[in-house]
Structure 1
Amino acid sequence: MLLERCKGPVDLGDKPLTQAQLERLWIADRERLLSCARRHLALRDFYADRDAGLEGKP
C-alpha cells in the first residue's frame, strides 16, 4: 500500500460547476492529498526505522 501511486486531482470537466459540486470535488481533492501525504510519511518513517536498525541505532 505504501508504494501505491497517488491519485491526482479530480477532473473538473469543462462545464460550469455548482457550488455544491465544487465543494464535493474540493473535499475529494483534499482527501486524495492527505492520503498521499500520509502514505509518503509512513514510507519515509519505514525506511528511517529500517536504516536505523541496520546501523544498530535504537
Structure 2
Amino acid sequence: MRRSLVLSTESRRHWFRASLPQRRRAFADIAPVAPVDWRLTAQDVRGAASTYFATLAAVLAFIV
C-alpha cells in the first residue's frame, strides 16, 4: 500500500497517535508555554566583560 507523504485531509491522522488511548493523547492538546524572552541586558554585558577581563588577567599572570 502506497501512502502519500502529504495528507490530503486533516481527518487522516498518524497511525501511532490514533492507536494511543485518549488519556495519553490529552498531553498533545495542552497549550504550549509562553516563549522565553532572550533580551540582552546591561547586567549581562557587564558580567561577560568582567569574565573576559578576569580570564585575561589570569592568563597574563601565568605567562609572566
Task: Give the TM-score range, shorter chain.
Answer: 0.3 to 0.5
Instruction: Choose between structure 1 and 2 for higher RCO, CA contacts under 8 A separated by at least 6 residues.
Output: 1
- Computing the radius of gyration over CA atoms, which structure comes out larger, 1 or 2? 2
TM-score, reference length from structure 1 = 0.42
TM-score, reference length from structure 2 = 0.39
